[in-house]
Structure 1
Amino acid sequence: MRVLMTSWGSRGDVEPLVGLAMALRELGAEARISAPPDEELAASLERAGVPLVPLGPTVHSVVAGPKPPTGEDALKLAPALVAARFETLTPAAEGCDVLLATGLLPAGARDVAEKLGIPYVYAAFHIFGHPSRHFPPGARPGTPSPAGETDIRTLWRQDAERVNALYGGALNTHRAAIGLPPVDDVRGHVFTDRPWLAADATLCPSEGMTDAELVQTGAWIRPDDRPLPDELEKFLKAGPPPVYVGFGSMAAHAPKDIARVAVEAVRARGRRILLGRGWAGLTSIDDAGDCFVVGEVNQQALFRRVAAVVHHGGAGTTTTASLAGAPQVVVPRIADQPYWAARVAELGIGVAHQDPTPTVESLSAALTTVLTVETRERAKVVSGKIRTDGATVAAKMLFDLVKPA
């Protein structure tokens, strides 16, 4: 069996596909991934031995400017990505048995699969974004809902209209070019009636939470056995477990002055600091020996050795920290991150710092809670409930999907 997977997004949108590709390979299938050509993503796929088919522009070039992307930027990016998917995925999917898509709304992927006559699967890493009677849609570029509108069904209908405005014109133009009829509900078309949910059921319970018939596989965790760098090992062994602070691919979205705030807040609790450089470029504020800056490392190994993890609340980071049993302070920035922050708090494994701009005082107060024995013990209990076989479950489901009737 040959599988093409595609995603346009940062590391958190691509790494789970690498985990799934490795699980497929264990079962004898071939898998390739079409994703943005960012250097760190390309290096990650190469390390795993998974072929990369470059798709669209780099994510870094779009999101890592001095200011966050604007609505106007999104109106240009959406049709460009639709065109890129038709152009890139059509030849890449030739000879494949199934096409799986995730990441930033992958309009165009299902249409390529439809033209080639192969099954299509849409997968998400959270429930955020799926129509629901329990919560409203998140922000999306386009005409905003009227001020004061509170009816959830109306808000979701207006969200579908914004999706159509972003993607509909380009999608239907490209569908017509390959002889396919137009689509009038792009969001529903992309999501399908039975989208897959690649998230752990303990961290992200889904039953009855959305209108869709979600198929929950568990999180797609990529095995990582890389040793930690020698200098990092020396730092870890030189004192008590430090507090890790990192905001991943958040660049312009990272909290203002977060490195200084974090260092001072952690020091106020008498702890050492590990700063994850990330796209925000976090660096130490002085030459004191209690602070160490790391780049891209094996977080699965690192998080087992820290006192707590302060992060932005991406699905991948939340899952990795939870699996490691590390207490968390989540400072959500965009999209699904407030959801993960809320779940961390609900589970008692950390604190949701909902104010997007932490102060030394507020972050220090959050750390006071997460550095307690009670929070650490609860984090260890929850860690034991998280399943690690989600990628294998999904790989077997893909095999079942393409079995002859």
Structure 2
Amino acid sequence: MRVLLSTYGSRGDVEPLAGLAVALRELGAEVRVCAPPDEEFAELVGGAGAEFVPFGRSVRELVTGVTPVSAADVPRFAAELVAARFDTVAAAAEGCDVVLATGLLPVGTRSVAERLGIPYVYACFHPCELPSPHYLPSPSRPGPPFPPGVTDNRVLWDLDAQKVDALYGGALNTHLSALGLPPVTGVRDHVFTEQPWLAADPVLGPWQELTDLDVVQTGAWILLDERPLPADLVAFLEAGAPPVYVGFGSMPMRGPTDVARVAVEAVRAQGRRVLVGSGWAGLGLIDGRDKDRDDGRDDGRDGGWDDCFVVGEVNQQRLFGRVAAVVHHGGAGTTTTAARAGAPQVVVPQIVDQPRWADRVAELGIGAAHDGPTPTFASLSAALTTALADETRARATTVAAMIRTDGAEVAAKLLFDVVGRGRGAQRTPPAA
């Protein structure tokens, strides 16, 4: 069986597909992955043994570039992605038996699969992406703001569908017309299908019923990471008490607040050492206390190395089990990794699904939800007090044992079933 997996987004959108690719290959499938052209994504996909097909612009450049994509650029950028799906993704789908798409709304991918006569599956990594009376649609969707005073979620989801039609409908139907195919009405729901897959852990991101969608929840698609931690990081970890990790992944963290300074000072005020994950925001230390040696490393004699350390891309699955708490942006992958490790969390949400993950962390009692995207010394200190409490650590340990690790295997078997049956996936995922 030949499978095409397609996504457009940050690492949090690509790494789960690499995890699914590993599970598919273990069942004997050949896997091809369409993803943004960033080098780190090519390495992820190649490490999973899948063929990498780049499409679209570099996401890292879009996020961290000097001139981010403006509101005026969004319609042109959306049209570019639709065109790339009818071009690059369509070519990659040739000879495949099934297409699975996720990430930034994959408009056009279903039409590509239907034109080739092969099944199409849509998957997402958080329940609040799917229309439901239990969740508000994301207000960050490009388009007019929701009318003030409207609180009915069903009405708001209808307005969200109108935003999607306005943003993507013209580009999609132009391509369909050129191929002699009928236009699509209701673009968002066409992309989602009536039976979308939810690749989120049932404890962390449960799907609540009472919706028109027949959602198949597989569990999170986890790419197991066997890499050892760097020797200098291990030395830092072993030089003192477990530190608090602070990192915001692919978030640029632009704004007037020096997030690194606020975070380091707040953690230090708790009497804790700090481990800073540089991420796409390029976070670093706030003083020169790690620079007292000629080779740029601290010998620990002045407390600098014992106090604070910066790390780049690293195996978080190994690392998070060795920290006192994790302060992060609330991406689905980071939230799941911290929960699996039993690490208390402070979620400082930035966009889209991240406020919901923050709320869920607080609901479960495994950490704190920071109020808003911009921490201050006082607000982060209060959140850290909650996360570092003994009862939070105990609850995080309990919940860690409840997190499933077989989501990718479940999804891989379901894809085989989709192809074998020649129609939609069965309602209940088989046991892994």
Question: Structures share a fold, TM > 0.5?
Answer: yes
Q: Which amino acid aligns with 2:6?
A: T
Which residue in 2 is equivalent to 1:164?
165
Structure 1 pair 255–137 and aligned structure 2 pair: CA distance change class (3 A) = farther
Give the stretch that moved more between structures: 248-257 or 269-278: 248-257
Contact in 2 for aligned 1:7/1:14 (Cα 8 Å)? yes
C-alpha separation in 2, matches of 1:389 and 1:255:
42
Structure 1 pair 319–67 and aligned structure 2 pair: CA distance change class (3 A) = farther
Q: Which amino acid aligns with 1:222?
A: L
Contact in 1 for aligned 2:134/2:208 (Cα 8 Å)? no
Q: Which amino acid aligns with 1:25?
A: R
For residues 114-171 of structure 1, the C-alpha deviation after alignment (integer angstroms, 9 at most, x for no partner) is: 0000000000001122111122211211122323333322221111111011110010
Contact in 2 for aligned 1:65/1:252 (Cα 8 Å)? no
Taking the TM superposition and a 5 Å limit, the aligned residue runs for 1:239-318 are: 239-253=240-254, 256-286=257-287, 287=289, 288-289=304-305, 290-318=307-335
CA shift for structure 1 position 254: 7.2
For residues 192-231 of structure 1, the C-alpha deviation after alignment (integer angstroms, 9 at most, x for no partner) is: 0000000000001103164421100000000110000111
C-alpha separation in 2, matches of 1:150 and 1:385:
34
Which residue in 2 is equivalent to 1:102?
102
Runs of 4+ aligned structure 1 residues displaced above 6 Å come to: none
Contact in 2 for aligned 1:130/1:211 (Cα 8 Å)? no
Please say if 1:364 is aligned against 2:381: yes
For residues 364-401 of structure 1, the C-alpha deviation after alignment (integer angstroms, 9 at most, x for no partner) is: 12111111111111001000001100000000000011
Q: Which amino acid aligns with 1:127?
A: P
Q: 2:136 is paired with a residue of what secondary structure?
A: coil
Which residue in 1 is equivalent to 2:185?
184
Structure 1 pair 404–210 and aligned structure 2 pair: CA distance change class (3 A) = closer
What TM-score comes out, normalization by structure 2 length? 0.91
Taking the TM superposition and a 5 Å limit, the aligned residue runs for 1:136-175 are: 136-139=136-139, 140-175=141-176
Q: Which amino acid aligns with 1:44?
A: L
Which residue in 1 is equivalent to 2:344?
327
C-alpha separation in 2, matches of 1:86 and 1:376:
49
Which residue in 1 is equivalent to 2:112?
112
C-alpha separation in 1, matches of 2:245 and 2:259:
13
Structure 1 pair 366–404 and aligned structure 2 pair: CA distance change class (3 A) = closer
Which residue in 1 is equivalent to 2:233?
232
Q: Which amino acid aligns with 1:369?
A: T
CA shift for structure 1 position 75: 1.6
Contact in 2 for aligned 1:350/1:370 (Cα 8 Å)? yes
C-alpha separation in 1, matches of 2:176 and 2:421:
28
C-alpha separation in 2, matches of 1:99 and 1:280:
33
Q: Which amino acid aligns with 1:299?
A: Q
Give the stretch that moved more between structures: 204-213 or 157-166: 204-213
Please say if 1:30 is aligned against 2:30: yes
Q: 1:4 is paired with a residue of what secondary structure?
A: strand
C-alpha separation in 2, matches of 1:51 and 1:179:
31
CA shift for structure 1 position 255: 8.0
Q: 1:403 is paired with a residue of what secondary structure?
A: helix
CA shift for structure 1 position 61: 2.0
Give the stretch that moved more between structures: 235-244 or 149-158: 149-158
Which residue in 1 is equivalent to 2:427?
none
Contact in 1 for aligned 2:267/2:274 (Cα 8 Å)? yes
C-alpha separation in 2, matches of 1:377 and 1:254:
35
In structure 1, the gaps of 5 or more residues are none
Q: Which amino acid aligns with 1:160?
A: A
Report the number of matched residues: 405
Contact in 2 for aligned 1:68/1:252 (Cα 8 Å)? no
Contact in 2 for aligned 1:16/1:222 (Cα 8 Å)? yes
Give the stretch that moved more between structures: 321-330 or 208-217: 208-217
For residues 263-320 of structure 1, the C-alpha deviation after alignment (integer angstroms, 9 at most, x for no partner) is: 0000001111110000100000112321111111100000010000000000000000
Which residue in 1 is equivalent to 2:394?
377
Structure 1 pair 112–251 and aligned structure 2 pair: CA distance change class (3 A) = same
Percent of pairs with identical residues: 66
Q: 1:260 is paired with a residue of what secondary structure?
A: helix
Please say if 1:339 is aligned against 2:340: no
C-alpha separation in 2, matches of 1:62 and 1:340:
24
Which residue in 1 is equivalent to 2:14?
14
C-alpha separation in 2, matches of 1:2 and 1:166:
32
Please say if 1:84 is aligned against 2:84: yes
Which residue in 2 is equivalent to 1:216?
217
CA shift for structure 1 position 50: 2.0
Which residue in 1 is equivalent to 2:54?
54
Which residue in 1 is equivalent to 2:413?
396
Give the stretch that moved more between structures: 313-322 or 284-293: 284-293
C-alpha separation in 2, matches of 1:376 and 1:254:
32
In structure 2, the gaps of 5 or more residues are 290-303, 423-432
C-alpha separation in 2, matches of 1:346 and 1:145:
27
CA shift for structure 1 position 67: 6.5
For residues 321-343 of structure 1, the C-alpha deviation after alignment (integer angstroms, 9 at most, x for no partner) is: 00000000000010000000000
CA shift for structure 1 position 244: 0.3
Contact in 1 for aligned 2:128/2:136 (Cα 8 Å)? no
Structure 1 pair 315–170 and aligned structure 2 pair: CA distance change class (3 A) = same
